[in-house]
Amino acid sequence: MPGWPHTREGLIEEQLLLATLVPEPWLLEPSSRVGGVFVCFPRGPSGAGQAGDPAWAAACVGEETVVVTGYAGAAYEPGLLALREGELLEAAVRALTQPLDVLVVDATGRDHPRRAGLALHLGAVLDLPTVGVTHRPLGAEGKWPEDERGARSPLMLEGDLVGHWLCTRAGTRPLAVHAAWRTDPATACEVVLSTCHARTPEPLRRARRRAREARARNPGAQS
DNA sequence: GCGACAG
DNA sequence: ATCTTGTCGC
């Protein structure tokens, strides 16, 4: 079963393995409970950050929200984000007591040099369908869609459709929505649109707010 | 001029 | 992720 290697070599190997797995496809239903998870780090100029940086992670589903604190596992490096925040995100989701059917993560999924971004990795570890949402793609490319809620355009990586640019709200920049663990690009968009009032899907928005609130209430208390 | 590769 | 500045709209 997948886990969180602590070295670059180990993670790369794990990602290559994850990319070969073919989990049962998951489909969104009206009754599906959508959760979100988000992690933040200390404010201030810190570039890519460093291993050991204090971190606050929040997860939510329905009315429940939980916050856990910990430390970054590594500095940020494109393609190796799991090394920095994988374990903490998992801890936050496991702290939830209410059940969830799908999780929205601020990371890519299939859009990754080894086709196993953090959103996909987290889903495999938790055995839970996931969807990735980021401000921009990691390696995939595609032109923006029309500025109309629900409009989407393909995000392609080496000839494969790995996600979509999705306009979640007119007048705002589109979101990069990623197929991840047990989800395809179309389902990922359905999940995001079904929970979107503002630009960001509500579960992710709430998790982000709670994580930042926790940081504000406890600044530097774990440095 | 360089980089423009998730967070 | 975090920063910065300004603009729009409730």
pLDDT tens column, A161-211? 999 999 999 999 999 999 999 999 999 999 999 999 999 999 999 999 999
Confidence band for A222, pLDDT divided at 50, 70 and 90: low
Q: Protein contacts on strand B: list nucleotides below 7 Å from a Cβ.
A: 5-7
Confidence band for A218, pLDDT divided at 50, 70 and 90: confident
pLDDT given at position A56 = 97
- Strand bridging mode A34-40 / A54-61: antiparallel
Query: Which nt is closest to the CA of A141, judged by C1'?
Result: B5
pLDDT tens, position by position, A46-85: 788 999 999 999 999 999 999 999 999 999 999 999 999 9
Q: What is the 3-state secondary structure (H, E, C) of chain A?
A: CCCCCCCHHHHHHHHHHHCCCCCCCCCCCCCCCEEEEEEECCCCCCCCCCCCCEEEEEEEECCEEEEEEEECCCCCCCCCHHHHHHHHHHHHHHCCCCCCCEEEECCCCCCCCCCCCHHHHHHHHHCCCEEEEECCCCCCECCCCCCCCCCEEEEEECCEEEEEEECCCCCCCCEEEEECCCCCHHHHHHHHHHCCCCCCCHHHHHHHHHHHHHHHHCCCCCC
For residue A223, pLDDT over 60 is answered with no
Long-range pairs, A20-29, Cβ under 8 A, ≥24: A21/A124, A23/A124, A23/A181, A23/A182, A24/A182, A25/A182, A25/A183, A25/A184, A25/A187, A26/A101, A26/A102, A26/A129, A26/A182, A26/A183, A26/A187, A27/A187, A28/A102, A28/A187, A28/A190, A28/A191, A28/A194, A29/A101
- Indicate yes or no: strand C within 7 A of the C-beta of A182: no
CA end-to-end distance (rounded Å), chain A: 33
- Indicate yes or no: strand B within 7 A of the C-beta of A48: yes
For residue A220, pLDDT over 70 is answered with no
Q: Which residues in chain A, range 24-43, keep a C-beta under 7 Å from any nucleic strand C atom?
A: 38-43
- Indicate yes or no: strand C within 7 A of the C-beta of A208: yes
- The whole-number Å distance from A43's CA to C7's C1' is 24
- Indicate yes or no: strand C within 7 A of the C-beta of A176: no
The pLDDT of A31-54, averaged and rounded, is 93
- Strand bridging mode A102-105 / A34-40: parallel
- Indicate yes or no: strand B within 7 A of the C-beta of A49: yes
Contact present, A109 and A76 (Cβ < 8 Å): no
- The whole-number Å distance from A140's CA to B4's C1' is 14
- Indicate yes or no: strand C within 7 A of the C-beta of A46: yes
- The 10 Å Cβ neighbour count of residue A165 is 23
pLDDT tens, position by position, A70-127: 999 999 999 999 999 999 999 999 999 999 999 999 999 999 999 999 999 999 999 9
Nearest Cα neighbor of A192 from A110, A100, A130, A138 is A130
Q: Cα torsion for A152, A154, A155, A156, to the nearest 10°? A: 180
- Domain A31-221 coded CATH 3.40.50.620: no
The pLDDT of A37-43, averaged and rounded, is 95
